[in-house]
Amino acid sequence: YQGQTKRKRIRRKKQKNSLQNSNNLHGEQTESGMQETLVQDNLQLQKTDIPKISKNRKRKMKKKRHKEKMRAAGLVTKTTGVDFTYQPDKNNREEAAGLKDIDEKTDSILDFLQATQQIYFADNKAECTDSAVNSATAQELLQHLESRTISSSDVTLLHQLKSLVLLQDIERLKDALKQFQEQSMMPPDHAKIVTSLFHYWITDILPVKNRK
């Protein structure tokens, strides 16, 4: 009887354990099933939440990833912006300064020759010179100076003649006038007007000033 009761108790324990195990297995299966359903539901939600990516967008993303891989491998260097802002160099600055200097010289020569030709023709010197030297030709020369259609080399020569007149250096003025006649690029009638006006300074105006 005692042995039978022991067997029964053992059997009961085994049955109880088997019941617990079956319950545990059933619980685990239900939990795993619930987890699977939750994962599937999440995946479906994610699929529904993610908007559709267009083919163009996919292509751009693929290119971007490819560039990043190439850059990481050192095959592609990052491009830097180039500044094309214009910056004048030394030569351009010197050229601009030279043009400004020529412009100022032209203005001063224009004023000087206007005053000289008025005195020249008022003193009736034009009657004693060549018929090509007249007020119309002189006016044409002044218009060329005003419109800046005279070469810069002629402007330099004229400015030198004017400076020597102001210095009242007759001998150097004579030499500079000869140099002007040899190197001038002006039309012959304009060059003749200039020569006559400065010769008038040499022969009539400066000697009187020097005597005074």
Give how far the C-alpha of residue 46 lies from the chain's centroid of Cα atoms, to the nearest Å. Answer: 53
Give how far the C-alpha of residue 135 lies from the chain's centroid of Cα atoms, to the nearest Å. Answer: 48
Question: Residues for the chain: how many in total?
Answer: 212
- Please give the single-letter amino acid code of residue 114: Q
Region 75-89: what's the mean pLDDT? 56
Q: How far apart are the first and last CA of the chain?
A: 170
* Contact in structure between 95 and 145 (CB atoms under 8 Å): no
- Please give the single-letter amino acid code of residue 66: H
The answer, yes or no, to whether residue 85 has pLDDT greater than 70, is no
The answer, yes or no, to whether residue 211 has pLDDT greater than 80, is no
**pLDDT, tens digit, for every residue of 162-189?**
999 999 999 999 999 999 999 999 999 9
Query: Residue 57 half-sphere exposure, CB side, CA atoms within 13 Å?
Result: 4
**pLDDT, tens digit, for every residue of 61-74?**
888 888 787 777 76
**pLDDT of the residue at 43:** 67
**pLDDT of the residue at 79:** 54
Verdict on whether the full-model pTM lies above 0.85: no
**pLDDT, tens digit, for every residue of 95-141?**
777 788 899 999 999 999 999 988 888 876 555 555 556 788 888 99
The answer, yes or no, to whether residue 29 has pLDDT greater than 50, is yes
Question: Which element (helix H / strand E) includes 116?
Answer: helix 90-122
Q: Whole-angstrom Cα distance, residue 193 to residue 182?
A: 15
The angle, 0 to 180 degrees and rounded to 10, between the axes of the packed helices 135-146 and 90-122 is 160
**pLDDT of the residue at 1:** 45
